[in-house]
Amino acid sequence: MDSIVDRAMNMAGTQLTKLRWALGLNGALSIAFGVVILAWPGISLFALTILFGAYALAGGVVGLGAAFSGASRGERGWLVASSLLGIAIGVIVLAWPDISALALLYVIGAYAVALGIIAVGGAFWLPIDGGDTVLMILCGLVSILFGIVIFARPGAGALVVLALIAAFALVTGITQLIVAIGGQRLVESRVRRAFAPKPQPSSS
């Protein structure tokens, strides 16, 4: 028969499963996107547009599905915000396949800044702590910095821009995977702390 701690851990784990899967899948998508960019330095503007649009849209759909299938209120709000951003950006880019290189850079830059702000907010709203919180904050700041660089240097060489996009995707993806994997450790530690025997006050 399961103990109270085991049952509580299973309940808490179920509540966080959707969030962890969403973060993990989005992280895998980001890493795949970054790897494709690095492996295809001669990618055309049209291919980059379709690839980025599909990446943003897929990430948004995954997050939105997780938001309405079991996440708690705080996690749902964060997932909905980040997912709607991805869906909106993906639809805009895919519906505008002949977008100019400069316009695409501005769209990517704006997406990175908005995603960074949401990531920093998520560091305080999501049920994570310790190193995972720091990772989320750093990821958000890197994303914001990337967007600022894109806006400040839109005329940089194509290879430099592609390298920045790939680095942004890889850093974001790796961070999301680490946070997703670390979620189980957080569940176990919180449940065990909640059910740990409280120290008795010493008698004077």
Structural domain includes residue 182: yes
> Whole-angstrom Cα distance, residue 149 to residue 168?
11
CATH of the domain at 47: 1.25.40
> Whole-angstrom Cα distance, residue 97 to residue 37?
18
pTM of the model: 0.73
Per-residue confidence band for 114, with pLDDT thresholds at 50, 70 and 90: very high
Stretch 38-52: mean pLDDT: 87
Q: What does the block give as tokens for 85?
A: 């951003």
> In the chain, how many domains are there?
1
Structural domain includes residue 3: no
Structural domain includes residue 167: yes
Structural domain includes residue 24: yes
154 burial (CB, 10 Å; 0-12 / 13-18 / 19+) is middle
Structural domain includes residue 5: no
Mean pLDDT taken over the chain: 76
Are 96 and 56 in contact by the 8 Å Cβ rule? The answer is no
> Whole-angstrom Cα distance, residue 43 to residue 99?
15
Q: Which helix (H) or strand (E) holds 67?
A: helix 45-67
- Least confident stretch, 20-29, 108-117, 124-133: 124-133
Q: In terms of residue numbers, what domain contains 15?
A: 10-188
> Whole-angstrom Cα distance, residue 169 to residue 30?
5
Q: Is 61 a residue whose pLDDT tops 50?
A: yes
pLDDT digits (tens, 9 = 90+) for 12-34: 445 556 667 777 888 898 899 99
